[in-house]
Amino acid sequence: MIVKSKKITDYRIIEMTSDEYPAKLKNIKQPPEKIFVRGKLPDPNMKTVAIVGARNASDYGLTLAKTISRILTLNNVQVISGLAMGIDTAGHMGAIEIERETFAVLGCGVDICFPMHNSNVFERILDYGGGIISEVDIGTPPLPHNFPLRNRIISGLSDVVIVVEAREKSGSLITADYALEQGKTIFACPGRVGDSLSKGTNNLIKQGAYILTSADDVLEYLGLIVDGLIPKKEKDVSTLDYFERVVYDVLEGETLHIDQIVERTKIPVVKCINVIMSLELNGFVETTINNYYRRAA
């Protein structure tokens, strides 16, 4: 398949001597001399987690990767992956579906979307403030030897690497190997004995990787959960629009049914439901039981 690049100007080249060059990459073996970036780089003051795995993933694996990504993102953890089909894409989508940042490291130029049918994901990464990163020049096609090399950048930029599903000789295990070499922590999702998509992750666990049962396992490891609870922080309500603030205020100290919220706020029911959904997705409100809501901790 011929991959054509389009002429772009919205990229920059960051040399290793630049202050903007990620400190985490300087510490890996054979760091790239320069990187090409569209959008932005991960914030060095925030935790970053890589989510990688099989291209031909199961529905279970895809759902798991997306859910983990969404929860991590809602807890201000940056998600990075490689834009490949399967688990990589699901990892990106967990952030994209709540309109948050995610970061992709490519094995081709940042002017080329590969695979081509991930163009929507590619564009939405940029639309929602994330970044597209590569060490190879603009116009470089997706050559096979570039992909194992880009995996060292994915792990290098991360604090933790999560492998969701992987065959015994999966490319995502190359990322895990780089992570081990770089002294990074690996979490692996356990799977059924004999399942081909679980052989790689089960072997990682046998070799000492942490077992991942939920996103909380990673949040706890990163110090974002203490004694089983996510530390309380003051919510930045300045980001809320008028209707979101009205609903958020009415939930102070109370758990209310949707009908009660509508009655107290005088917001039309359809509008109110949309407002609550937005608040829930952005971590301001949580559901207790069907149609009952409260402020999120």
**What average pLDDT does this structure show over 192-197?**
87
- Domain segments of the chain as ranges: 12-221, 237-295
Query: Average pLDDT, whole number, for the chain?
Result: 91
pLDDT in tens, 136-185: 999 999 999 999 999 999 999 999 999 999 998 888 899 999 998 998 99
Helix (H, G, I), strand (E, B) or coil at 181: helix
Sequence-ordered strand ranges (E) for the chain? 12-15, 34-39, 48-52, 78-81, 103-105, 131-134, 160-163, 185-188, 210-211, 256-257, 285-287, 292-295
Confidence of residue 68 (pLDDT cuts 50, 70, 90): very high
Instruction: Provide the CATH topology of domain 12-221.
Output: Rossmann fold (3.40.50)
Helix (H, G, I), strand (E, B) or coil at 271: helix
Instruction: Provide the CATH topology of domain 237-295.
Output: Arc Repressor Mutant, subunit A (1.10.10)
pLDDT at 202: 93
